[in-house]
């Protein structure tokens, strides 16, 4: 992984936070495509940490053991091999963890691992080093408050519980009904907002964007307008393009 900032990119980073199924990753991915940037969904770090603990046989509720394992493990991020992809792959001890990160057992264990303060501290260091390259959309639940408190553009995406549960159910291949997904979503919200380490809250200077009644394209358009207003270099580039057109 190259941690050296790309020339001209250092101040071009966007922090997007929000609860589960608020549209963070989908909006972030399309924004990255539009801007020609990378998408860093920081959730993959906690998924990778969970996967590492599970494959090494460490019980997730043993905080110290999980933290010790993660501290001893080597995490690396690399652009995906698909030239059209804006996403990053995550490697753990040289193994590509990405294909395993959406497995049900990993999904169910992530909230437990993500709540371990010492694990979050280790992950934040990696996330900050990656984001320092710039020209990046960074997505998560504590980006604007903890990981990138000085990001020039911060957006807090949200949507009603019902809408988020409907989206989540549509994403799952298990055919789960919306009622059960809604309860799971509410439990996840409660854990994320009440945990001691980096709870889910909107940064004071974040722009709130409710996506409940927006299509993906509308949400991306609104987010892009916020970003271009907050990052002068992008606003200038847009103005130049309009004049040349």
The full DSSP string for 158-178 is E--HHHHHHHHHHH-TT---H
% of the chain with per-residue pLDDT over 90: 76
Are 171 and 101 found together in one domain? no
Are 49 and 65 found together in one domain? yes
Q: Is residue 243 part of a domain?
A: no
Are 225 and 143 found together in one domain? yes
Q: What confidence score (pLDDT) does residue 237 get?
A: 56
Q: What confidence score (pLDDT) does residue 3 get?
A: 44
Query: Distance between CA atoms of 139 and 143, rounded to whole angstroms?
Result: 7
pTM of the model: 0.89
Contact criterion met (CB below 8 Å) for 94 and 74:
yes
Q: What confidence score (pLDDT) does residue 6 get?
A: 55
Structure tokens at 213: 């009644």
Are 187 and 104 found together in one domain? no
Classify each residue of 147-183 as buried b or exposed e, where b means 16 or more C-beta atoms within 10 Å of its C-beta: bbeebbbbbbbbbeeebbbbbbbeeeeeeeeeeebbe
Are 179 and 212 found together in one domain? yes
Contact criterion met (CB below 8 Å) for 28 and 136:
no
Distances (CA, A) of 92 to 70, 74, 85: 10, 6, 21
Are 93 and 143 found together in one domain? no
**What is the count of structural domains for the chain?**
2
CATH of the domain at 116: 3.40.50.300
Cα 198-206-78 angle, rounded to 5 deg: 65
Q: Is 106 helix (H, G, I), strand (E, B) or coil?
A: helix
Q: Is residue 108 part of a domain?
A: yes
Q: What confidence score (pLDDT) does residue 113 get?
A: 96
Structure tokens at 6: 């790309």
Q: What confidence score (pLDDT) does residue 171 get?
A: 79
Are 142 and 225 found together in one domain? yes
Are 142 and 185 found together in one domain? yes
Classify each residue of 194-228 as buried b or exposed e, where b means 16 or more C-beta atoms within 10 Å of its C-beta: ebeebebebbeebbebbbeebeeeebbebbbebbb
Query: Distance between CA atoms of 223 and 217, rounded to whole angstroms?
Result: 10
Show pLDDT as tens, one digit a residue, over the chain (245 residues). Answer: 344 445 578 789 999 999 989 999 999 999 999 999 999 999 999 999 999 999 999 999 999 999 999 999 999 999 998 889 999 999 999 999 999 999 999 999 999 999 999 999 999 999 999 999 999 999 999 999 999 999 999 999 999 999 999 988 887 766 677 888 899 889 989 988 998 888 999 999 999 999 999 999 999 999 999 999 999 888 665 544 434 44
91 Cβ neighbours under 8 A, 6+ residues apart? 74, 75, 76, 77, 78, 97
Q: What confidence score (pLDDT) does residue 168 get?
A: 85
Q: Is residue 22 part of a domain?
A: yes
Are 142 and 226 found together in one domain? yes
Question: Which residue range forms the structural domain that includes residue 165?
Answer: 11-37+136-230
């Amino acid at each position: 992984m190259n941690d050296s900032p790309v020339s001209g990119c250092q101040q071009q980073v966007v922090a997007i936070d929000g609860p589960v199924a608020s549209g963070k990753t989908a909006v972030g991915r399309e924004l990255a495509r539009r801007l020609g940037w990378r998408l860093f969904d920081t959730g993959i770090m906690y998924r990778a940490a969970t996967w590492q603990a599970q494959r090494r046989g460490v019980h997730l509720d043993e905080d110290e053991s999980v933290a010790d394992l993660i501290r001893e493990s080597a995490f690396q991020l690399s652009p995906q091999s698909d030239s059209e992809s804006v996403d990053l792959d995550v490697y753990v001890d040289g193994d590509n963890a990405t294909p395993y990160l959406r497995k049900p057992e990993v999904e169910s264990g992530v909230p437990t691992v993500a709540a371990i303060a010492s694990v979050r501290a280790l992950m934040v260091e990696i996330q900050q080093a990656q984001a320092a390259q710039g020209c990046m959309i960074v997505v998560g639940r504590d980006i604007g408050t903890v990981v990138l408190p000085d990001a020039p553009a911060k957006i807090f995406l949200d949507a009603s519980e019902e809408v988020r549960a409907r989206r989540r159910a549509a994403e799952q291949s298990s055919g789960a009904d919306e009622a059960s997904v809604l309860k799971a979503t509410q439990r996840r919200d409660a854990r994320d907002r009440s945990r001691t380490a980096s709870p889910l809250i909107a940064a004071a200077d974040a722009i709130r964007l409710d996506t409940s009644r927006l299509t993906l394209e509308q949400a991306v358009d609104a987010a892009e307008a916020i970003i271009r207003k907050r990052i002068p270099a992008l606003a200038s580039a847009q103005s130049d393009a309009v004049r040349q057109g």
